[in-house]
Each structure stands twice: as C-alpha cells, then as structure tokens.
Amino acid sequence: MKLEKTAADFFAGIGLVTMGLNKQGWQVKYALDYSDEKCSLYEENFGKEHYHHKDIRETSGSEVPKVTLAHASFPCSNISAAGYKNGLYSGESSTFWDFIRIIREMGEVPSVGKPPFVLIENVEGFLTSGCGEDLVAALKALNNLGYAVDILLIDAAHFVPQSRVRLFIFGSLFGLPQKPLELAQIMNQPTRGRPKKIKDFIASNQTIKWSLRHLPDLPERVINLADIVDHSEVWWVKERTQYLFSQMFERHQAQISLMMQNKYWSYGTVFRRTRIRAGIKQSTAELRIDGIAGCLRTPKGGSARQILVRSGLGHFDARLINGYESASLMGASEYLIPENTSLHNLLFGFGDAVCVPVIEWIAKNYINLLLDELNSKVNISQQADFSFIESALLRERS
C-alpha cells in the first residue's frame, strides 16, 4: 500500500497549515488545539469532524489516527527572542515534549505506527535558544524516535508582503546515512531556504543524524503591502493619527511629510516600541515603508498591534491592520472570517499561525517529491515497521 497524503496537525490554531496542505493535495485527518477562539475559526473553515478541542498535555498517541505526516507548531513563548527566553523545557514551549511523547505512543499502537514524516515550525530564535542546545535536544529526540532530520529557514517575505522568518524541521523515518560527497553537494547548493547560519549549525552538529535534500531557491515575491490594503476600512480620526505622528522619531516624521507631497498614496506599517527618544525612554512609533509589513504578532500588549499608515495627496492616515489584511499577509485572503469575530481574536489567530504559501512550497518542493520517490520504489506495507523499505533504499544506494 502506498503512502497517502494524510496528516495530523498539532497546535493547529485557526488552520492555516491545514489550508496550505490542502492546496497540495493533503487531507488533515486530525487537528488539535485547546484555544476556544481558534477552535471556532478552524471549524468554520474546515469542519468539526477531525478537530479536537483539547490540551496536548491531556492527549494520548492512541487517540491519533494513522497518518503519513505529523505537523507541530508548538508555542514559541519560551524560545523566542521576544519571549521569556527560559528554554524548551519551560512554560508553554515545553509542550514540544508532549508532541514527542505522542509520536512515540503512536508507534506503540500496531495498527497506527509512527508517522513516516514529521514537520515542525517555530521562530528563528529556536536556532539559538539555550545557545543552540534546545534545538540540538529537539533534533536528537527526533533521531531517537528513528527520524533523520533536515532544517530550513524561510522568510515569508518571499511569498507575501510580511517579514516572517521561521525555522522548519523535517524528519523522515526513511532518512538514510548520506555519503560525504552527496552531503557536501547539498551543503554547497546556493539556496535561501538553507542560509549560512543553517549550514553552519548542521556542520557543527555532526552527531545528529541528518538527511538533507536538494532544494530549489525560494521565489521572488510579486506583491507588496499596497496590494493587500482593504480600502473599505475606516481610518482613525485626525487627533489619533496626529498623536501617532507625535510618537515618531524626527527622521520618520520627515519621511511621512515627504510622502504627503506625492500625488498618490504610499503605504507603510508602524509598531509601537519603548525607545529612547529626545533623551527620554518612551513609547515610540517606528515606521517601515519598504512595501513589507512587520511580523504579525499575537495582541498580548499594545506594541503587538501593527498599524497601517498611508501618506499622499496632502494627507497622513493611520489605523490598525484589520482581519482581512492579516489573512492576506498570511497568504490566506480566501479565509472565511465569521461576522462579529473580534479583531483581537483575529489578530490572536493569525499572529500565531503559519504562512500558507510557505507550507505549500515545502509540501510541493520537499514532502511531495519525497513521498512520490518512495511510492515509486516500493509498495508501502500497512504495517508500522518500515525496515524493509530502508533495506530497499540502501540496496539502491550501494
């Protein structure tokens, strides 16, 4: 029996991983998340049948059906540069280990077995959290479960007008030891999906069982911030916009004033951050006008709410980025947003999500190709033990 395009999505959130996988022919048979707000949005878009509204800490591997791929985008709060920085064994980020436990428990169910593939997504800070030891521990945990691993670093700005760099770990039960020449060829390949910092990490951790694949280069983005603006949204009143302007550095005020002289609208984004301005530590509105929004965040504080600005025709306007624009920045412009959903819940859902076209790209250029290669070589048994497949692949390589 061939491997099918079936997946389980842990920490499923509002379902953008489901959307990305669906677009590449995958069926998500199991989705898990404990958030009430995210649950309602997921079910509105993808149905209730396979969604499990439950804490992963209270979930057993015996509850998960047989799938080919398990995806996890576990909380970043303890490994992010903007978070608590107390590591993979602390707080919400420690739920990574529950994902590992569940994969192990799935392997103990004969009719289910461990998923042949795993895909894990998190912030770039995972690469350096605990001086890199957190990532090493995570990769070795996957190795101990039988998965050979690869890591990618992808900025969503290659696909959408949002700066959103994320680390992806891919693990395969079929990953075999690579010959030095093959490994060197892959490491020397110029691709922005595996930049120097990733190659350096791989080279400095030779005790990890790696299984790297050739990658095409990431695409060039074809849309800018102006292309996703919702022109039906109401802008702030003049007094609120003027207050925002007063919070800017002088150089940013000068940029806005220059843009106001244009006979067309120019767009940018603003985050409020605490900075030293005029010799005083105070809330400061920092302007970005390169056609790309800053990284969407969850609205846990005022600084996390990204502001859209436009300037031109003698005017300067500002307002919060809305739900439709947030969806578009995540490559999910077709996402169904139910009426009466609060902006807070939308920002919470999209700020925690995975960019849809990035998942599509990984599925199309990495996972689907590997799956097709495996299916073309042997008929996959229904049994959880894949050792005979490894033997077939080893014979082919020798």
CATH of residue 26's domain is: 3.40.50.150
C-alpha–C-alpha distance, residues 272 and 329, integer Å: 19
Stretch 73-84: mean pLDDT, rounded? 77
The one-letter amino acid at 244: L
Q: Identify whether residues 162 and 244 lie together within a single domain.
A: no
Q: Identify whether residues 188 and 242 lie together within a single domain.
A: no
Exposed, middle or buried by CB within 10 Å (0-12, 13-18, 19+), for 102?
buried
In the chain, the percentage of residues whose pLDDT exceeds 90 is 80
C-alpha–C-alpha distance, residues 163 and 123, integer Å: 12
C-alpha–C-alpha distance, residues 295 and 13, integer Å: 17
Q: Within a domain: residue 363?
A: yes
CB 298 within 8 A of CB 351: yes
For residue 157, name the pLDDT band (cuts at 50, 70, 90): very high
Q: Identify whether residues 143 and 272 lie together within a single domain.
A: no
The answer, as to whether pTM is greater than 0.85, is yes
Question: In degrees to the nearest 10, what's the CA dihedral of 294, 299, 300, 303?
Answer: 50
- φ and ψ at residue 120, rounded to 5 degrees: -125, 135
Question: In degrees to the nearest 10, what's the CA dihedral of 366, 367, 368, 370?
Answer: 80
Question: Of 332, 367, 363, which Cα lies nearest the Cα of 350?
Answer: 332
Beta-carbon count within 10 A of 390 CB: 14
Burial 17-50 (b: 16+ CB within 10 A, else e): bbbbbbebebebbbbbbbbebbbbbbbbbbeeeb
For residue 279, name the pLDDT band (cuts at 50, 70, 90): confident
C-alpha–C-alpha distance, residues 170 and 211, integer Å: 9
Domain of residue 288, residue span? 234-321
Residue 372 has pLDDT above 80, yes or no: yes
Q: Identify whether residues 313 and 190 lie together within a single domain.
A: no
User: What are 282-339's pLDDT values in tens digits?
Assistant: 999 999 999 999 999 988 655 578 999 999 999 999 999 999 999 999 999 999 999 8
Number of domains within the chain: 2
User: What are 168-177's pLDDT values in tens digits?
Assistant: 999 999 987 7
CB 272 within 8 A of CB 279: no
CB 14 within 8 A of CB 31: no
Helix, coil or strand: residue 310: strand
Q: Identify whether residues 212 and 87 lie together within a single domain.
A: yes
